[in-house]
Amino acid sequence: MLIMLGMIIMKNMVIRKIGVKVNKFISNKIKNESNQEILLITQEECAEVTQAISKIFRFGMDDEYNGVTNREHLQEELGDLLCMIELLIASDMVDEMTVYHAKNAKMAKLAKWSNIKEEV
C-alpha cells in the first residue's frame, strides 16, 4: 500500500513537472512568435526608410507623390522605425542603455570622421 501511494505521489510530481515544462514551452513559443513579428516588422520599416531616402536622392526632398512630399514620407517612415525600436526595447530583445551607448558612440565617430557634425 505504501509503495502504491509513493508511486502515485511520484506520478503526480512528474505530471506537474511536465505541465510546468509544457507551460514554459507554450509561453516561450508565444513570446518567440511575438519577438519574430517585431523583428520582421522592424526589418520592413528599415527597408521603407531606405526606399524613402532613395526617393529623396532621385527626386528631391520636396517632390510630391499623391499629395505627400518626400520629406513627409521620410518623417512618417522614421516614426514607424522609432516605434519598432521602442518595441524591441520594451520586449527586452535589446537593452535600452546599450542602444543609447551605441548611438553616442556613433555620434562620436561622426564627429571625428565625417563633416556631418559641422553641418548640423
At 73-117, the pLDDT tens digits run 999 999 999 999 999 999 999 999 999 999 999 999 999 999 886
Architecture per CATH, domain 36-119, reads as Orthogonal Bundle (1.10)
Q: Taking the model in full, what pTM does it have?
A: 0.73
pLDDT at 11 over 80: no
Is the CB of residue 77 less than 8 Å from the CB of residue 49? yes
Is the CB of residue 76 less than 8 Å from the CB of residue 65? no
At 36-71, the pLDDT tens digits run 999 999 999 999 999 999 999 999 999 999 999 999
Residue 78 backbone class (left: φ over 0; alpha: ψ -120 to 50; beta: rest): alpha
Q: State the pLDDT at residue 82.
A: 98
For residues 41-77, one letter each, b for 16 or more C-beta atoms within 10 angstroms of the residue's C-beta and e for the rest, the string is: ebeebeebbeebeeebeeeeeeeeeeeebbeebbeeb
Residue written as grid cell 527586452: 92
At 20-34, the pLDDT tens digits run 555 665 566 667 889
